[in-house]
Amino acid sequence: MINVLIWNEFIHEKQQPEVAEIYPKGIHRQIGKYLSADKNISVRYASLDMENCGITKELLEDTDVLIWWGHQAHDKVSDDIVKLCADRINGGMGFIPLHSSHHSKLFKALCGTSCNLKWRHGDRERIWCVNPFHPIAKGIPEQFELPREEMYGEPFDIPNPEEVVFMGWFSGGEVFRSGVTFRRGGGKIFYFQPGHEEYPVYHNENVLKIIANAVKWAAPEARESKNILCTNPEPLEKGLE
């Protein structure tokens, strides 16, 4: 069983009726509903309005993959929570930051760069699968279209990804590395660009399937953290006399 924790800022859905219409129970519940249909995936939820943002050390220790959606309140997530999550990711937990989570404290801490990009509302996106042999691309067509999506454009200030699985092309002319992987310590990370709150992007079957594939790819074989220790051991054998 893969234990997934979906964290959502959960503000737009409560403040903007047009967003609530698309996601009446929140973006997290919409993604979770799809993932829960897989009997090998167990989903829990957390949001900014919960105590400690709904995140505890115990909960993270029982989590295999953390999905994150944030936009307007990145700074409301405490540095303590960011450290808790980053430590667990380094210790082996998978991490899937979505859309505007490129500017979350957690993703920026893991990248060590600004994670800045170009953006513009109201565009059309064609997502190209540029690594069809990757597990996250399983069952995904060569390309598919999102009729309405926010444009995210290059240059995207991230460290060179380990793999680029998807590229986005926008009708305004820009291109973007829309699906990229990283590793930090034992943790596998998949950043996925689609998901602007004003458009029904998480109702798209391919987008949901990619997130489900990413959950399976990012899940560690064992749940316990294996943090790399900083020690100064005695040598195992005699070296220099």
Residues within the interface to Zn ion (CB under 5 A):
100, 150, 196
CB of 79 to Zn ion, least distance (A): 24
Count helices and strands in the chain by DSSP H and E runs:
7, 9
CB of 44 to Zn ion, least distance (A): 25
- Start-end of H helices in the chain: 12-15, 17-22, 27-36, 57-61, 79-90, 105-111, 205-218
Nearer to Zn ion, 100 or 225 (CB): 100
CA distance 116 to 70: 15
Nearer to Zn ion, 121 or 183 (CB): 121
Nearer to Zn ion, 182 or 199 (CB): 199
CB of 99 to Zn ion, least distance (A): 6
CB of 20 to Zn ion, least distance (A): 16
Q: Is 241 exposed, middle or buried (0-12, 13-18, 19+ CB in 10 A)?
A: exposed
Nearer to Zn ion, 40 or 72 (CB): 72
DSSP-assigned beta bridge partners for residue 189: 95, 182
Nearer to Zn ion, 177 or 196 (CB): 196
Nearest residue to Zn ion on Cβ basis: 196
Query: In the structure encoding, which two tokens stand for residue 179, read together?
Result: 């699906």
> Is residue 182 within 8 Å of residue 113, measured between CB atoms?
no
CB of 63 to Zn ion, least distance (A): 25
Q: Is 107 exposed, middle or buried (0-12, 13-18, 19+ CB in 10 A)?
A: buried
CB of 225 to Zn ion, least distance (A): 32
> Is residue 35 within 8 Å of residue 65, measured between CB atoms?
no
Nearer to Zn ion, 47 or 193 (CB): 193
Main-chain phi, psi angles of 92, to 5 degrees: 130, -10
Nearer to Zn ion, 90 or 100 (CB): 100
CB of 22 to Zn ion, least distance (A): 13
> CB under 8 Å to 179, separation ≥6 — which residues?
127, 136, 164, 165, 166, 167, 190, 191, 192, 193, 210
